[in-house]
Chains A and B, each alone.
Chain A
Amino acid sequence: MLGIGLIKGLAETGRNFVGSYLDPDRLVTVEYPEERLPVKENFRQFPFLVFDGEKADIGLRCVACQICEKECPPQCIYIEKSKDKKPDHLGKPQFYPAVFDIDISVCMSCQICVEVCPFDAIKMDQQFELSTADRFRGLLLTRDRLAKPNSHFQAIHPRDAAEIDMRRVDERAKAEAKAKADAEAKAKQATAAAPGATKAVASTPKPAAAPANEGAIS
């Protein structure tokens, strides 16, 4: 009979309407600014730069290798390498980014910079309420605005952060052990090779370099 299909459909809308009062599966709306869904751990938004310790200009992990700048698909990263070097968490002198800009009006949050970074220096943020009235300077994130502490990274990506922190502790322990061993070997060499030779004494091995960013891995 004509109309049966219509009535069946109408019954279905009726069931959905009534069901929306009873079944949370049928009423999925979230009243956004007041209510919020929990943010998923893998959720990614624009990148930020991780720094260790308290101060961004000392603890920045980025060594300005410019790999992310090259690999970025929409070319939204701009880096200028520093002239001088400063020690990284292993005590090795490294460059740092004098300028590090990300134009987030261009960035497409694809995470490729994060994947290619060999220093775990750039990570994806989860901040998504970024509206601004200044569409040029407000959307060009400079180094100071990009730098966020490791504790922020640990808070938003706990699984990744734990893994990376473990690895960095290992690396540092290894580097320290190696520096110690090197120093001992050199000292031994010096004492064995030159009894009375003054030159060897002059080249005292460097002490195991104390990293500037003490307490970096919290």
Chain B
Amino acid sequence: MPSHGGATAKVPTEAGAPRGPDAYRLTAGDNEYDDGSLLEISMGPQHPSTHGVFRMDVVLDGETVVKLKPVFGYLHRNHEKIAESASYLAAMPYTDRLDYFCSLTNNWAYALAVEKLAGLQVPERAEFLRVITAELTRLQNHVCLAGFLMQDMGASGTPLMYGFREREKILDLFEALTGARMMCNYMRFGGCRCDTPPGWLEEVRKVVDRFPRFLDEFENLLSSNEILMARTQGIGVLTRDLAINAGITGPVLRSCGVDYDLRKVDGYGLYPKFQFRVPLGDHGDTYDRYMMRILEMRESLGILRQALDAIPEGPILDPKSKLRGFRPKPGEAYGRIEAPKGELGFYLISDGSPNPYRYRIRPPSLINLTVLEDLCLGHNVADTVTILGSIDIVLGEVDR
């Protein structure tokens, strides 16, 4: 018997024959995996390996991933709309909270966009301070990433604690300069908020001089470790074409051999003045992504040394910049920098009022996360954790 209401009405089909109830079909429902061969599990949002409140809907065939759906938004806090209803300056402390490991690079990207919008010139000393703080940020981000990656692989504690020990020294520098360890809120439109406290640059130099010893130790500890190699080499291979098509940036892109570093391509700030090399990988696997970070840290140290040698005295803020009543001319601007995780961009539209008409962020974490399924398919469920760790996401930035 036809079960659909009104199915008795004879509607001619293409062939002219009447349609029966068999002609209809339903989309796949919740019982897609009911035949017992597959298992759908939900990893997160409280799973410790997901780096925050991130959830993966993983469909497993035994231990092999056959489908993976990232679910996020648990940390959404309406950052873009809040910034559109607040003044330009008031959005600056909120940018700290995007990628809370790298508040100084977030500050820089936002300041760069506003400076383009308002046509402000950054004094040379401020540019040097920006480079120094950004490279220190890169160091501490990568050191944490490497530590967390090992933690995800089951190397509980030791590498992470070694990494955090070094990170603490850099956070102390941030605290002495900006007043806060993580929520620095340091850059201003047309410069930086305050000059360095006495003796700060010498402290930076001490940390920079000691850092290579730590890196050597860290590499001794891990880079040739057989278990690490077995767990990471050939796992989560990202192809060059997919990386480019998906808009991947940062170390994840460079690990597949694409020479694209905004510090070289855009040459924003003072980066064209510095000598440094861009590490590139060939395989695009988890091990390459790990090594990109280690090698980048060594290059960052080189940039830091050059910056510390060359930093001039002088003003740190464009005199045209003002705190209160800041109204850029109507227009639009996109400022982007090479944040430790990839290209971080801020797109702003001004309508001449004290708050931005449109405020949009291009977060590297979110866009790098889009290839997660492609990287994980066919690997074991334990590998999804290391692959996710090697992509380096921070949920504050993914969800905004």
Contact = CB atoms under 8 A, between A and B. Distances in A.
Given A4-B224, A6-B225, A8-B220, A73 B86 contact: yes
Contacts of B91: 73
B221 A12 contact: yes
B220 A12 contact: yes
Interface string B161-191: 0100100110010011111100101000000
A146 B160 CA distance: 40
A67 B324 contact: yes
A93 to B, nearest CB: 24
Nearest to B226: A5
Nearest to B91: A73
A189 interface: no
B239 interface: no
A144 interface: no
Contact of B210 (A2, A25, A42): A25
Interface in A6-53: 6, 8-9, 11-13, 15-16, 25-26, 28, 40-44
A116 interface: yes
A12 B229 contact: no
Contacts of A40: 172, 175-176, 179, 197
Contacts of A82: none
B183 A112 contact: no
Given A13-B221, A73-B93, A42 B178 contact: yes
A6 B221 CA distance: 8
B156 to A, nearest CB: 13
A124 interface: yes
A43 B175 contact: yes
A8 B224 contact: yes
Interface string B43-64: 0000000000000000000000
B276 interface: no
Contacts of B226: 2-6
Contacts of A16: 162, 217
B362 interface: no
A108 interface: yes
B75 interface: no
B187 to A, nearest CB: 13
Contacts of A2: 226
Interface residues of B, number: 40
Interface residues of A, number: 33
B205 to A, nearest CB: 15
B183 A108 contact: yes
B84 to A, nearest CB: 13
Given A71-B89, A112-B89, A42 B175 contact: yes
B93 A108 contact: yes
A124 B93 contact: no
A111 interface: yes
Contact of B197 (A3, A42, A71, A110): A42
Contacts of A3: 226
Contacts of A127: none
A115 interface: yes
B358 to A, nearest CB: 19
Given A25-B210, A42-B177, A116 B224 contact: no
B90 interface: yes
Contacts of B223: 5
A217 to B, nearest CB: 23
Nearest to B324: A116
A191 interface: no
Contacts of A108: 93, 183
Interface string B69-103: 00000000000000000110111111010000000
A109 interface: yes
Given A41-B197, A42-B178, A42-B179, A28 B165 contact: yes
A115 B225 CA distance: 50
B176 A42 contact: yes
Contacts of B96: 110
A26 B179 CA distance: 25
B178 A71 contact: no
Contacts of B179: 40, 42-44, 111, 124
Contacts of A41: 176, 197
A116 B323 contact: yes
B184 to A, nearest CB: 10
A38 B229 CA distance: 42
B366 interface: no
B185 A110 contact: yes
Given A3-B226, A5-B225, A73 B175 contact: no
A157 to B, nearest CB: 10
B298 interface: no
Contacts of A12: 217, 220-221
B324 A71 contact: yes
B246 interface: no
Interface string A111-139: 11001100000001000000000000000
Interface of A: 2-6, 8-9, 11-13, 15-16, 25-26, 28, 40-44, 67, 71-73, 108-112, 115-116, 124, 159
26 contacts: A3-B226, A4-B226, A5-B226, A6-B226, A9-B220, A9-B221, A9-B225, A12-B220, A13-B158, A16-B162, A16-B217, A25-B210, A40-B172, A40-B176, A40-B197, A42-B176, A42-B177, A71-B87, A73-B93, A73-B94, A109-B180, A110-B183, A111-B179, A112-B185, A115-B323, A116-B324
Task: List 5 tightest A-B contacts by C-beta distance, closest first.
Answer: A110-B93, A5-B224, A44-B179, A73-B90, A42-B179
